[in-house]
Structure 1
């Protein structure tokens, strides 16, 4: 396949990781767009303008939103639905049979996504996370490093699953949930809010 040329929206830490994935996948990062005027270059890759400058480049490049905040990612994506979005999958990720990964999603190093899982658009599946068979993850959700979703877990949109969290099999989680790091989910979560603990309890 020909090399893809990619523009990254967001020139912060998450954007740096995305750039590394793109390079290791054999594609080319053409530049970043970021609203911070002090950012001129990231790892010798130029910052070519502000986010509003997307329209200048939309016909020439693929795009990926390299911003960790779920709501900001969603706002940018919904404001620019016609862009050619790039899906970044690190070469060390293990992707099972029948897995579906939405446009604009980033899958980091060491991730395992097993058979027939379905990952939505503009998600972050962070370093060494495990998504087991037949899990469904809604758009704009962030699964943090080393989180483990056991089989047939359903997670809604705009959720944040904290680092090292375990969700046992066959659990359902509604939209707009935050789960703190190292938590254990042993029941469905039916109400939006913030949860943490072993087992989890609502804290906000």
Structure 2
């Protein structure tokens, strides 16, 4: 079995993903990144820009998108699929994921995460350090649950939404596509799409401008 992994994005998040991949058992990990940087981080070379992705497939058949921007990450994931790459998820060994939860492709589950029974984690989502996802939650494609965020049961986080660090989400709430939950917020009611909320209880701050109208 080829135990190599190409990580798209050599920033801080990409380095966390790469480190977890080594702990998980991948033997060779390298980056693609558009910035002119020489990132070694002790172990991980940058092989070239993202434009070289398709040419890397023979030597590096498996890849994961690891940029923080939700929309960019999801677009890179679809580019990987179109190019025929394998798109494994990276789950840190210290994460606790129920055997009765589902984790899709190119998902990153960081150290200390807990995912309980019935939860569904869709393509290219991020569950960051120490987050907890309780029973029957749905984390849709490209969403990001930040470090230390806690989701009670039956929460839905729609496509490309972002739940900020240390937030708490009441059972049954829905976070709309592209919405942002500010750090440390307590969400007790549904959040519409493309809205930023913050506070305790969380209230709307502003509507995000997005001419495309979708994630």
**Superposition deviation, residue 128 in structure 1:** 0.3
Return 119-128 or 22-31, whichever deviates more. 22-31
Distance 1:3 1:150 in 2: 38
Give the aligned partner of residue 79 of structure 1: 79
Within the candidate set 159, 168, 171, 2:170 is matched to 168
TM-score, normalising length: structure 2: 0.90
Q: How does 1:104-119 map to 2 (within 5 A)?
A: 104-119=106-121
SS across alignment from 1:7: strand
Q: How far did 1:126 drift?
A: 0.3
The aligned runs of 1:26-41 (5 Å cut-off) are 26-41=25-40
Q: Deviations over 1:97-121 (max 9, x none)?
A: 3111111010000000000100011
**SS of the residue 2:25 aligns to:** coil
Structure with greater strand share of residues: 1
| CA drift at 1:44 | 3.1
Structure 2 distance, partners of 1:141, 1:39, is 29
- Aligned residues, how many? 203
SS at match of 1:203: strand
The structure 1 residue matched to 2:130, chosen from 128, 131, 135, is 128
With the length of structure 1 as denominator, give the TM-score of the two structures: 0.95
Cα distance in 1 for partners of 2:148, 2:48 equals 34
**2:24 maps to what in 1?**
25
Structure 1 residues not aligned, in runs of 5+: none
| Runs of 4+ displaced beyond 3 Å | none
- 1:42 maps to what in 2? 41
Q: Any stretches of 5+ residues in structure 2 without a counterpart? A: 207-215
Write the deviation string for residues 109-157 of structure 1: whole angstroms up to 9, x where unpaired: 0000000100011111000000000000111011000100000111100
Residue pair 1:19, 1:29 contacting (<8 A) in 2 also: no
